[in-house]
Amino acid sequence: MSDLIIELVEIKKSFGPVTVLKGVNLRVRPGKVTALVGDNGAGKSTLIKGLAGVQPYDGGEILFEGAPVTLHSPREAAALGIEVVYQDLALCDNLDIVQNMFLGREETSAGTFDEGRMEREASDTLRSLSVRTVKSVRQKVSSLSGGQRQTVAIARAVLKKARVVILDEPTAALGVAQTEQVLSLVRRLAEQGVAVILISHNLVDVFEVADDIAVLYLGQMVAQIDADQTTRDDIVGYITGTKVQEGVKIMDTSTIATEALQ
């Protein structure tokens, strides 16, 4: 597909004798939300860490806008516009929103931090995402709710014009209202042309915002399908290994079972 921003082809990753990713293929489109789902141990984190440059893959090919690239560090991933918001958010409670958004990449002028510029850019980023729940960008993060913290972490990711944003369980610890706030933000990201990869165990959230759903089962991509062309029951079948998308080749199930027990 010519409109792909990221395509992973036959990705493999092992840790010692344990093969975690067994020839995984994944397609990600700009302006779309691709949900990555699977049971614990399916390989989701390993797949994403490779894409973020944290743990380079052992084999396979990464295509970015159709051109092969190598990602050996988070810096290389960030240079392409790939940003990750991990589940722990990595925010500093004792710093305010501006300081958190620019932490480690502060703007300087005449040898000192350019506080005015950073405050303007932080405000502009939050405004572009239609964030209205934050009273001031100078609020300490310790005073924010869970949903507001998640919003700040996402805004930090897109501050430098990210083209791909990977969200790791963004609603895992949130209440109903805060979850709706974050999911609305995810949709607004996609509407701005950002490719969003959403890792989630919550299929209600997945079906609310996802355009595509990719399912990992024991290190293999058993399905990638348009969200409006499948059902929750089908996705549960893919996640549990009782169903495989037509045309997808997987390892012999006895081999999978053997490796899972090792």
Confidence band, pLDDT 50/70/90 cuts, at residue 121: very high
Question: Where would I find the H helices in 176-252?
Answer: 176-191, 203-209, 232-240
**Where do the domains of the chain lie, and which CATH numbers do they carry?**
6-91+162-261 (3.40.50.300)
Q: Is the pLDDT of residue 171 over 80?
A: yes
Alpha carbon separation from 97 to 2, 63, 185 (Å, rounded)? 38, 34, 17
> Which pLDDT does position 250 carry in this prediction?
67
> Which pLDDT does position 8 carry in this prediction?
97
> Which pLDDT does position 253 carry in this prediction?
45
Summarize pLDDT for 37-80 with one digit per residue, the tens. 999 999 999 999 999 999 999 999 999 999 999 999 999 999 99
What average pLDDT does range 241-261 have in this prediction? Answer: 60
Q: Is the pLDDT of residue 232 over 70?
A: yes
Contact by Cβ (8 Å): 178, 146: yes
What is the pTM (predicted TM-score) of this model? 0.86
Could you give the percent of the chain with pLDDT greater than 90? 67
Q: Could you tell me whether strands 59-64 and 220-226 are parallel, antiparallel, or unpaired per DSSP bridges? A: unpaired
Confidence band, pLDDT 50/70/90 cuts, at residue 247: low
Confidence band, pLDDT 50/70/90 cuts, at residue 2: very low
Q: Of the ranges 141-155, 162-176, 244-258, which one carries the lowest mean pLDDT score?
A: 244-258
Average pLDDT, the chain: 89
> Which pLDDT does position 249 carry in this prediction?
67
Q: Which long-range contacts (CB under 8 A, 24 or more apart) does 184-191 make?
A: 185/129, 185/130, 185/131, 185/150, 185/151, 185/154, 186/33, 186/154, 187/33, 188/129, 188/130, 189/129, 189/154, 189/158, 189/165, 190/31, 190/32, 190/33, 191/31
Confidence band, pLDDT 50/70/90 cuts, at residue 187: very high
Q: Is the pLDDT of residue 261 over 90?
A: no
